[in-house]
Amino acid sequence: MTDRVPYRDAIALQPTALKASLKSISETLDTIDLVPLKSGTIVLAGIGASLYAAIVAAVQMRNQGIRAFALAATDLYDPSIEAGDAYIAFSASGRSIEPATAMEVRPDKPTYGVAMADMTPLSKVVRHMIPTNSGIDSGPNTTSYLGSLLAAALLADKAGRPSGTDWTALSPAAQSVLEMVKPQVEKAAKMLGGCKAIDCVGAGCAYGTAGYISLLIREAARISAQDWDTLNFLHGPMEPNDKNTGVILFGDGREVQLAKDLASFGIPAVLITGRSDVTDTDNLVVINVPAFSPGIGDAILQAIPAQLIVATLSEGAGLPVCNFRYRQTDTKLVVG
């Protein structure tokens, strides 16, 4: 299995991991049959962080002309449910029971698996395996999550309308983000450090990012957190927020005004955006991440400063390494 390192160390490895993943995924996609993904309905399944990767992937695929949607893998346990014409399972470790089960009960359907490595339990129950070979990872997942998103981006380009994105530029862009966001990340983490709960908000691909980051906050920093679609957040969910509950927002649209409004209400807000015309105010920290590629490309890069915020929060809580307190025994399959 892939080696594990402290959370912050894995974040620093992401530019290297993305470069390795690009090579591995591209080579694999040149050798497997993608015709079943070019028509009909595609269902993307996952659990935990991989469910949020599936959400990001489904949005991107729809944007590129593929009929696709994401489901929690447990929604597919009943083999009589004909949800799609082909299925893609996301599991960073390749060991999660739920996506493997969802694929195993559909032996007659075109099924694909995305994981950090080949020869995992998931590979035994899908027709085609797409290993990202993202390498060393942490708990919770960092390099493997971004590797999954890159796999989805390349799949969308192959099976749908090409995005025209130069994915070879992604690794250098990730390195640049790591270097440029440090001051604002520390400012944001300091502001959120005393919060008892943190909401994460975004739309489209960024809604998947919001889900992923809220999970990281819960796992790594042990702070209650929740993900929300941007416009849904306006319809009541924001009512409990006050000076003790922070909000991290991802996006360039309605999120900008919402961040300003939250700050004006005295609510700590962090805006991660491609816009450069928004600046810090009282209760608002803005982290600019230069636009790379609409949707999944920007989602990959915007996840990085949020990961760094979580790293600082977890270290502040005395948890530089994430060890689950309440680990369950029936969530992972045994390799071998």
Q: What secondary structure letter does DSSP report for 96?
A: B
pLDDT reported for residue 141: 87
Of 110, 140, 169, the residue that ends a domain is: 169
Q: Is the dihedral of CA 31, 35, 36, 38 positive or negative?
A: positive
Are residue 152 and residue 193 in the same domain, yes or no?
no
Strand locations in the chain (E): 41-46, 67-72, 86-90, 111-115, 128-131, 197-202, 224-229, 245-250, 269-273, 284-288
Residue type for position 287: I
Residue type for position 279: T
What is the number of structural domains in the chain? 2
What is the value of pTM for the model shown? 0.95
Of 169, 194, 209, the residue that ends a domain is: 169
Tell me whether residue 119 is in a domain.
yes
What pLDDT digit, counting tens, does each position of 175-228 carry?
Answer: 999 999 999 999 999 999 999 999 999 999 999 999 999 999 999 999 999 999
The CATH number of whichever domain residue 35 belongs to comes to 3.40.50.10490
Tell me whether residue 323 is in a domain.
no
Are residue 160 and residue 191 in the same domain, yes or no?
no
Are residue 204 and residue 67 in the same domain, yes or no?
no
Tell me whether residue 324 is in a domain.
no
Assigned token pair, 43: 């269902």
**For residue 191, what are the domain limits?**
181-316
Are residue 156 and residue 216 in the same domain, yes or no?
no
Tell me whether residue 325 is in a domain.
no
Q: How far is CA 270 from the centre of its chain?
A: 18
Are residue 100 and residue 146 in the same domain, yes or no?
yes
Q: How many Å apart are CA 130 and CA 31, to the nearest integer?
A: 10
Judged by DSSP in three states, 265 sits in coil
Are residue 114 and residue 253 in the same domain, yes or no?
no
Starting at the earlier edge strand, list the strands of the sheet with 128-131. 67-72, 41-46, 86-90, 111-115, 128-131
Q: Are 85 and 35 in contact (CB under 8 A)?
A: no
Are residue 203 and residue 225 in the same domain, yes or no?
yes
pLDDT reported for residue 323: 73
Judged by DSSP in three states, 322 sits in coil
Are residue 186 and residue 268 in the same domain, yes or no?
yes
Cα Rg of the chain, angstroms: 19
pLDDT reported for residue 1: 43
Judged by DSSP in three states, 221 sits in helix
Are residue 203 and residue 133 in the same domain, yes or no?
no
With a cut of 70, list the residues of the chain below it in pLDDT: 1-3, 322, 326, 330, 333-336
Q: How many Å apart are CA 244 and CA 266, to the nearest integer?
A: 9
Residues listed for the chain? 336
Starting at the earlier edge strand, list the strands of the sheet with 245-250. 224-229, 197-202, 245-250, 269-273, 284-288
